[in-house]
Chains A and B, each alone.
Chain A
Amino acid sequence: MTHLPAILPVTLLIGALLSLLAGLWRPRAGHFVAVAASAVAAAAALLAVAAVLRHGEIRYAMGNWPPPLGIEYVLDTLSAYLIAIITVIGLLVMIYAGRSLTLEVPRRKVFVSPAMLMLLAGLVGMTVTADAFNLYVFLEIASLAAYALLSVGDRPAPLAALRYLIIGSVAGSFYLLGVGFLYFATGTLNMADLAARLPELYHTRAVIAGAVLIIAGLGLKMALFPLHLWLPDVYTFGASSVTGLIAPLMTKVAAYALIRLVIGVFSPAFFTETLPFAPVIAWMAAGGIVFGSAMAVAQTDVRRMLAYSSVSQIAFIALGLGLANKLALIGGLLHILNHAVMKACLFLAVGGVRARTGLVDVRRWRGLGWRAPWTMAAFTVAALAMIGVPPTAGFFSKWYLLLGSVAAGAWVFVVVIVASSVLTAIYFFKVIELVYDDPPGKDKGEQAPGPEPEVLAAGDPPASMLLPILALAVLVLLAGVFNAWIVTHLLEPAVRPLAS
C-alpha cells in the first residue's frame, strides 16, 4: 500500500515496454498486454483513492533518498482523484482502441498501444510527483508520446503533430526555465520545500520571472486561450482512439499541474496579490469559453467542433482557478473529471460512427440516431452534459462555478457561463436534431433530404468499442449524481488553502 505512488507510473512504463515486445511478436498480444497493464493501473488507482481516504496522504521517497534531496511522490486526495480519472479513462479507451485502431490505422497498431501507455505513465507521473523538475520529466514523457501518437491518423496529421511538437517544446522549455529560476532562487526542487522557502523571496525578480514562465508554459500546454492555436488541428486529424485519450486527459493534467503549483507551491495570496495573475487567468478563461464555443458553432467537421469545444471547456477549469475562491475552484476541479468523461464519450462515439460510416461531416449524419441508436444515445447524453443539463455531470461543475462567480460578485463570468451554455446548446442540438431526424420520405408528401447511403447501412460499432462508449455515458450520469461525495471527500481538502 505504501508503495502505491511508485507502483502506478512504473506499472504503466513497464507495461509499455512489454506491450511493444509482445506486439512485435503478435500484434494481438501487444494490445492484450496494454489492456492488462491499464487495468492493473486503474485498479491500483482506485485502491489509492480508498487508501488515501482511509489513511490520509501517502508520501513516498523514491529510491529511499530522503526529500528534499531525493524525489518525493505524494498521493493526496487530489492527486488520487486525478490518477483515478486518468487510469479509468485510459483503460476504457484502451479497450476501445483494439478494434478502432485495426479499422483506422492497421499497420501502426503495434506501436500505438505502447505509446498510449507511455502517455498514461507520463500523465500519472506528472500528477503524483512532488518534485518540480521531476514534473518536467514526466511532462516530456507524456508530450513525446503525444507527438508520436498524434502523427498517426489522417493525412494532415503529421503536419499538425509537428506544429504541436514545436509549440509543445517551447512550452516545456518555458516551464523548465521557470523551474530553473526557482531553483536558482531557493536551491530546492521539492514542492513542499519550495513552498516553505518561497514566501520571503516573493518580491525577487527571479521568483516572479520563474512564476511567469511556469504559468506561460503550462498555459500553453493546457491550451488556455489565446494559447490554444495548436489544439484544433491535432484533435481533428488524429486517430479516434488517440484523440479519445489525449483530448480528455492531456490538457487537464497540465491544468492540474498549474493548480497544484499555484496553490501548493506559491500561495493563493501570491497569485492574487503579489503577482496578480488570477484575474488575468480568469479573463483569459472567459475569452476562451466564449471563443471556443462560438468557433464550435461554426464547424461542420464533428471532430473540429469537439476540438473547439475543448478550448472552451478547458477554460472552465482555468476560470475556477482564476476566480480563486473555494466554490469556483471546486467547480474547476470537478470539471476536470466531468469534462474528461464527457469528452472521452463524445470522441469515442464519433470514432464509432467513423468506424461504421466513415462520415465526420455532421451535415451528413441525418437519421443516424435510428441506425446507431446506442452510440447516438451516448452521444446525446454526453452532449446534454456539455450543455449542463441536470442531473448529468456537466451541470454540477457549472453550478459550483456559478456559485463561485456570484459569491465573488463577478457577474461578467455569470454572463459568460450562461452564454456558453447557449452556444453549446446550439452546436450540439444542430447535431442532435439532425441525427434524430427521420423524414417520412417523399411518398408522404414531404420534400426533405433523406439519410445518406452510408447512414442507411450504418449500425452501432462492435461491442468492444460500444461498451466503453456506453460505460462513459453511464459515468457521465454517475459523476453527476454522486458529485456531492466527490466534492466533500476528494476536492474540499484540496481547496482548503483558499478563501471561501
Chain B
Amino acid sequence: MDAVLSLRPLLAILVSLGAAVLIIACGRRPNLREGWTLLASLLKFGLVASMVPWVLQGRSVEWALPALAPGVALALRVDAAGLLFALSASFLWILTSFYSIGYMRGAHERHQTRFFALLALCLSATMGIAFAANLLTFFLFYEILSFATYFLVVHKGTAKAISSGRKYLAFALLGGLSLLVAVVWTAVLQQGAIDFRPGGFLDAAIGRGTLQALFALFALGFGVKAGVMPLHSWLPAAMVAPTPVSALLHAVAVVKAGVFGFVRLIGFIFGPELLHQTGLFIILAWTAGATIVLASLLAMRQDDLKARLAYSTVGHLSYIVLATALLTPTALLGGAFHIVTHAAMKITLFFCAGAIYVHTGLTRVSQLDGLGRRMPVTMGAFAIGAIGLAGIPGTAGFVSKLLIARGTLEAGQPVFLGILLLSGLLNAGYLFPVVTRAFFRDGPAAGGKGCDEASWLMVGALVVTGGLSLLLGLYPDGLFHFFSVAGRAAGAIVAGGAP
C-alpha cells in the first residue's frame, strides 16, 4: 500500500493534549477556557478530515516516532478503519463541545476545568487508538483512555458516583490487564513484530490451543469496553457521569474503542483466515447475538432514561461485534458503517436526555408525559434518533442494519438475521414509548408556557446530530465520505485476508 509521510496524525493527537494544558492554565477564565476547547475540536476535526482524500485514494498516512521500547516504535498509521473511527469521534467532539458548555453551565456542575481538560485528554487518546500502527501503541492509548475516563465517571463526587467509579475501574483494570498479557504474549510469540496488518499478522504455526487462549485474552480486553455481556455492567453504572461524557465517551469514543479493538483483532491481528481455522469467530458471534437480545430486553425495564439508553448502547455495540465476527464483506461494511451511524443516533438521544435533565430536572421515562409540547425540538430530535435505531428506512440505522442483515445471509447464518429483526422490534419497543409519552400524552411535564427549550447551545447540537442521522440514511456518502471510507475499511480486511 502506498504510504504518505505526514505529521497530521500526530498533530491530531497532540492538538487536544495541548488544549488540555491550556484549559487548566485558563481555569479561572471560563470563556477563554471554553474557547480553547472549541478551537481544539475544530482543528482536530480539520486535521482528521484532511486525510480523507489520501485514504480514499488507497494510501495510508504514516508517522513514526522514536522507539517506545526497543524494537517497537510509537508508530501511527492512518488506514480506512482508523480514519472512520477518528472521523466520527472528532466530528462529534465539536458538537459535544458546544453542548457541554450549555450543559455544564446550565447544570451548575463544579470543577468544570477538570471536566473540559479530561475530555480533551480522552479525545487525544481516542485519536491515538484510531491511528495506532502497532499493538503496544494501541495499548498505550487504550489505557490512557481508561484511566482518564475514570475521573469523568466520578465527576459528581457523590457516593453513587464513587461506587460507580469503583465498578468502572474494576472492569477497566480487568480488561486492561487481560489485554496487557495478550499484548506481551503476542510480542513474545512474534519476537516484537506486532504491527497491525490487513488480514492479520499472527502465524498459523503458533498452534491452535495457544491461538485460542490468546484470542480469549484479547476478547476479554476489548469485550469490557465494547460492553459484550457479561462484561457490560459498568456501562449503565457509568451513566452517573455528566451527560456529555455519557454522550461522547460512553456512546462513541470509549465504547467504540472496544469495538474498534475487535476490528483490529479480527481484521488486523488474527485475520479472517486464521479465525476460520480456529473456529473462534462463531463463539464471539453467538455472544454478541445474545448480548443484542438481552440488552434490548433489559433496556425495556429501565425507567431511568440514561440507563435505558446505556442498555441500548450495549446492544448496538454488539451489532458491530457481530458484524465483524461474521467476516463477510457486506457484514464488515455494515459493521464499520454502524460505528458511524450508531454514534450519530445515540449521541442525539443522549443530548436530548441531557437537555431534558438540565432544563426540567427530569430523568425518568415515566415523568416525560407531555414534554413534547414544552420541548418540541428536543423531543423531535429524540424521535428521529429513535426511529433510526429501530432501523426504519430513510434513516441512518436502516442502511447499516440492512448491510449487516445481508451479511448474515452471506455468512450462511440466518439465525442472526432473526436476532437482528427481533432486536429491531425490541428497539422500537423501548424507544418509541418515550416519544409517544412526550407527544401524545398529557402530563405535568408539559408545563404551562408552551414552547420552552433548553439553551441554544444544547438544542443546536442535538438538532445537528439529529439531522446527521437522517442525512446519513438518505445520502450515506453525502458527508465526509463516511460510507466510502467504511467501504475501504471493510475491503482492506477482506482483501488482506485473501491468499
Contacts and interface: CB of A to CB of B under 8 A. Distances in A.
24 contacts: A370-B111, A389-B147, A390-B139, A390-B144, A395-B143, A396-B69, A403-B187, A418-B181, A421-B173, A421-B177, A429-B166, A436-B151, A436-B157, A437-B157, A437-B162, A438-B110, A439-B157, A439-B158, A440-B110, A448-B158, A485-B67, A487-B70, A488-B67, A488-B70
Interface string A399-428: 110110011000000100010011001000
A414 B185 CA distance: 10
Contact of A433 (B66, B70, B162, B180): B162
A391 interface: yes
A128 interface: no
B173 A391 contact: no
A429 B169 CA distance: 9
B157 A406 contact: no
Contact of B157 (A396, A400, A440, A488): A440
Main secondary structure on chain B at its contact with chain A?
helix
B159 interface: yes
A443 interface: no
A483 interface: yes
B157 A484 contact: no
A384 B172 CA distance: 14
A64 to B, nearest CB: 40
Interface of A: 370, 384, 389-391, 395-396, 399-400, 402-403, 406-407, 414, 418, 421-422, 425, 429, 433, 436-440, 446, 448, 483-485, 487-488, 492
Interface string B393-411: 0000000000000000000
Contacts of B139: 390
A390 B184 contact: no
A390 B176 CA distance: 11
A400 B68 CA distance: 12
Nearest to A448: B159
A436 B154 contact: yes
Main secondary structure on chain A at its contact with chain B?
helix
B147 A384 contact: yes
A485 B73 CA distance: 12
Given A406-B184, A406-B188, A440-B158, 8 more contacts: A370-B111, A389-B147, A391-B144, A402-B181, A403-B184, A446-B159, A483-B69, A485-B67
A414 B181 contact: yes
Given A421-B177, A448-B159, A484-B70, A433 B154 contact: yes
Nearest to A408: B188
Contacts of B159: 439, 446, 448
Contact of B173 (A400, A425, A485, A488): A425
Interface in B125-152: 139-140, 143-144, 147, 151
B236 interface: no
A425 B181 CA distance: 17
Contacts of B67: 484-485, 488
Contact of A446 (B111, B143, B144, B158): B158
Contacts of B144: 389-391
A90 B140 CA distance: 31
Contacts of A390: 139-140, 143-144
B74 to A, nearest CB: 9
Given A389-B147, A407-B188, A438-B110, A399 B69 contact: yes
A96 B238 CA distance: 40
A370 B70 CA distance: 39
Nearest to B165: A433
Interface of B: 66-70, 110-111, 139-140, 143-144, 147, 151, 154, 156-159, 162, 165-166, 169, 173, 177, 180-181, 184-185, 187-188
Contacts of B187: 403
B155 to A, nearest CB: 9
Most buried by A among B69, B111, B158: B69
Contacts of B184: 399, 402-403, 406, 414
A487 B67 CA distance: 11
B261 to A, nearest CB: 16
Contacts of A492: 70
Contacts of B165: 433
Nearest to A492: B70
Contacts of A438: 110-111, 157
Contacts of A484: 66-70
A402 B156 CA distance: 37
8 nearest A-B pairs in the assembled complex, by CB-CB distance: A484-B67, A390-B140, A402-B184, A406-B188, A438-B157, A418-B177, A390-B143, A407-B188
Contacts of B110: 438, 440
A61 to B, nearest CB: 35
A422 B162 contact: no
Contacts of B177: 418, 421-422
A277 to B, nearest CB: 25
A323 to B, nearest CB: 13
A224 B53 CA distance: 59
Contacts of A436: 151, 154, 157
Contacts of A389: 143-144, 147
A443 to B, nearest CB: 13
Contacts of B140: 390-391
A418 B184 CA distance: 12
A479 B69 CA distance: 12
Contact of B185 (A384, A406, A483): A406
B3 to A, nearest CB: 23
A492 B70 CA distance: 10
A54 B147 CA distance: 40
B110 to A, nearest CB: 7
A391 B157 CA distance: 27
Nearest to A446: B158
A417 B175 CA distance: 15
A418 B156 CA distance: 30
Contacts of A370: 111
Nearest to A483: B69
B126 to A, nearest CB: 15
A408 B159 CA distance: 45
A403 B187 CA distance: 8
Nearest to A402: B184
Given A399-B69, A407-B188, A484-B68, A433 B166 contact: yes
A226 to B, nearest CB: 27
B158 A425 contact: no
Nearest to A421: B177
Contacts of B185: 406
Contacts of A400: 69
Nearest to A398: B180
B196 to A, nearest CB: 18
A437 B165 CA distance: 11
Contacts of A403: 184, 187-188
Most buried by A among B154, B169, B187, B188: B188
Contacts of B151: 436
Contacts of A396: 69
A422 B157 contact: no
Contacts of B154: 433, 436-437
A433 B154 CA distance: 8
A438 B162 CA distance: 11
Contacts of B147: 384, 389
A41 B268 CA distance: 51
Contacts of A487: 69-70
A147 to B, nearest CB: 40
A475 B477 CA distance: 47
Nearest to B150: A429
A265 B154 CA distance: 53
A402 B69 contact: no
A406 B189 CA distance: 9
Contacts of B173: 421-422, 425
A286 to B, nearest CB: 16
B174 to A, nearest CB: 8
A414 B158 CA distance: 36
A132 B230 CA distance: 58
A407 B110 CA distance: 49
